[in-house]
Amino acid sequence: MSGAETLQHITVLLHEAVDALAVRENGVYVDGTFGRGGHSRLILSKLGSEGRLVVFDKDPQAIAVANELAAQDKRVSVVHNGFATFQTALDGLGIGQIDGALFDLGISSPQIDEAARGFSFRFDAPLDMRMDPTRGISAAEWLASAAEQEIHEVIKNYGEERFSRQIARAVVSQRETAPIDTTRKLAQLVAQNVRSRERGQDPATRTFQAVRIFINRELEEIEAVLPQAAGRLKEGGRLAVIAFHSLEDRIVKQFIKRYSQHPPLPRWAAVKEADLPQPPLKPVGKAVKPDGEETAANPRARSAVLRVAERTGGSFEAC
């Protein structure tokens, strides 16, 4: 067994997320972020023989684990791609409506903990950061060619870093003499340009987060998949999303809010509440966060937020 295979991933909000789906025995479900299959295996344990589970992941290592599961369980279909391809992939599998979809956003522990993937400033490794290292450009390649303004905007918008402009300027200056091609080089450069530090947080944390989100188009994928997934739900079907930072959670929260409310009407419109079209979604409960026991066992779970919505009989076109 390789080092990559021995890396552990503790599934966050495992029972809460799967319980939120209210799994129907012979339903069709999607796990949009397979990871190492924690949520998927629990969903399968609740499905009957006629049930079906489609799993997505970009990461070749995750897909290898998913393919092993699919070889053992014919109810499983595997899609090696980002979940923004949701509709196209389901069409290709001959699947129309579904009973539920689960998305565990962000990055998995094996990706962080395997030095060679270049996600973490804790190791010195090639600066890659791609969830699928067979596609797209690496973080090092992007930093080598991106304009200073673009680097600044990425670090500011995706990392909410106050010193984004100074970091971007330093990147452009540094690359004129030597490439920024390892995690250590980037972390050291950032540390030299972040003038104040947050307690318990490495100065490179926000920059690494920002570059990773940008390289993998993470926020764009979330915005793309939510309407696709919600639009495929049968009436009573559930959408469950676990976010790990405010940028992700804001997108999810605003999406559910938008489609669980009536569209705004002009003040002069004399329309009774009962005559308004039913919104296509309704929130299920309040946002759920890990309890103290889970965060003590898995500190990476502390920022997780689970939001759930249920499909009604309303139309998205009316919103």
Q: pLDDT confidence of 238, banded at 50, 70, 90?
A: very high
Q: pLDDT confidence of 262, banded at 50, 70, 90?
A: confident
pLDDT tens by residue, 69-101: 999 999 999 999 989 999 999 999 999 999 999
8 A C-beta contact, residue 86 and residue 32: yes
Residue 32 has pLDDT above 50, yes or no: yes
Could you count the other beta carbons within 10 Å of the beta carbon of residue 42? 18
Residue 141 has pLDDT above 70, yes or no: yes
Cα–Cα distance measured from residue 226 to residue 84, given in angstroms and rounded to the nearest whole number? 9
| φ/ψ of residue 267, rounded to 5 | -60, -30
Query: 83 a known binding residue?
Result: yes
Return the CATH fold of 132-215.
DNA polymerase; domain 1 (1.10.150)
The average pLDDT across 117-136 equals 82
8 A C-beta contact, residue 31 and residue 88: no
Q: pLDDT confidence of 295, banded at 50, 70, 90?
A: confident
Number of H helices, E strands in the chain: 14, 7
Most distant CA pair in the chain: distance in Å?
A: 69
Task: Provide CB contacts within 8 A for 12, sequence distance 6+.
Answer: 104, 242, 290, 294, 298, 300, 301, 304
Q: pLDDT confidence of 2, banded at 50, 70, 90?
A: very low
Three-state DSSP at 109 gives helix
Query: 37 a known binding residue?
Result: yes
Nearest to 47 by CA among 15, 18, 8, 67: 18
Q: pLDDT confidence of 316, banded at 50, 70, 90?
A: confident
Query: 91 a known binding residue?
Result: no
Domains 3-109+218-318 and 132-215 fall in the same CATH topology: no
Query: 104 a known binding residue?
Result: yes
305-311 vs 281-283, strand pairing mode: antiparallel
DSSP designation for 123 = S
Cα–Cα distance measured from residue 131 to residue 22, given in angstroms and rounded to the nearest whole number? 30
Cα atoms found within 13 Å of the Cα of residue 220, Cβ hemisphere only: 8
Residue 271 has pLDDT above 60, yes or no: yes
Residue 273 has pLDDT above 90, yes or no: no
Nearest to 247 by CA among 273, 220, 287: 220
Sheet with 281-283, edge to edge strand ranges: 76-80, 52-57, 28-31, 98-104, 233-243, 305-311, 281-283
Cα–Cα distance measured from residue 62 to residue 228, given in angstroms and rounded to the nearest whole number? 23
Cα–Cα distance measured from residue 250 to residue 269, given in angstroms and rounded to the nearest whole number? 31
pLDDT tens by residue, 41-68: 999 999 999 999 999 999 999 999 999 9
Mean pLDDT, the chain, whole residue set:
89
* Residue 292 vs residues 13, 106, 187, 263: alpha-carbon distances, Å: 12, 21, 31, 39
Instruction: Give the per-residue pLDDT at 5.
Output: 39
Query: 113 a known binding residue?
Result: no
Domain range annotation of the chain:
3-109+218-318, 132-215
Cα–Cα distance measured from residue 238 to residue 311, given in angstroms and rounded to the nearest whole number? 6
Instruction: Give the per-residue pLDDT at 199.
Output: 72
| Domain 3-109+218-318 of CATH type 3.40.190.10 | no
Instruction: Give the per-residue pLDDT at 307.
Output: 98
Instruction: Give the per-residue pLDDT at 7.
Output: 42
The average pLDDT across 299-315 equals 91
